[in-house]
Structure 1
């Protein structure tokens, strides 16, 4: 029981220290904002593709793998996911 609280305490403390370190430097906060924007744009692209799936017959699930690929690679990442989906099915 004590080990469980110790692990949670260490997790919370290390998370707070990480947030403090990241937001102290200007470059890191700019990087975090850019990454956040990329995640939002990627989720929006996947959502629009999901809405248009009745017309295009391309169903891509919105999960961590597809969102991560679309976040890192952008629109070419979404096209890559579509190509992989078409090749596998």
Structure 2
């Protein structure tokens, strides 16, 4: 089962590189993704250390940073709202 998972992962990585370089995307998308990633982490840090809402602390982990990277600043507000209502 582990061998099958490694095979699927290898094939998907190979196809991802094929698609990225076939369409002449190069590495420009990597800098854009890095910028979004840094801004997502800064947004979460701003909420955590601003002191406006003392009970809300959004953990800095791959799931929260990924959500904010994809959704932008509304993602920070979404995580803050989830934290306040659920916990």
Instruction: Tell me the equivalent position of 1:36.
Output: 34
- The structure 1 segments of at least 4 consecutive aligned residues displaced by more than 4 Å after TM superposition are 18-26
What is the Cα-based RMSD across aligned positions, in Å? 2.9
Instruction: Tell me the equivalent position of 2:86.
Output: 88
Distance in structure 2 (CA, Å) of the matches to 1:61 and 1:19: 32
- Contiguous gaps of at least 5 residues in structure 1: 1-10
Aligned residue pairs: how many? 84
Instruction: Tell me the equivalent position of 2:59.
Output: 61
The structure with more helix, counted as a fraction of residues: 1
Instruction: Tell me the equivalent position of 1:27.
Output: 25
After TM superposition, give the deviation of residue 26 of structure 1 in Å. 4.3
TM-score scaled to structure 1, two decimals?
Answer: 0.66
Report which of the two structures shows the higher radius of gyration computed on alpha carbons: 1
Secondary structure class of the residue paired with 2:31: helix
Distance in structure 2 (CA, Å) of the matches to 1:78 and 1:47: 10
After TM superposition, give the deviation of residue 23 of structure 1 in Å. 6.3
User: What are the Cα deviations for residues 4-28 of structure 1, in whole angstroms up to 9, with x where unaligned?
Assistant: xxxxxxx9xxx7xx77985686424
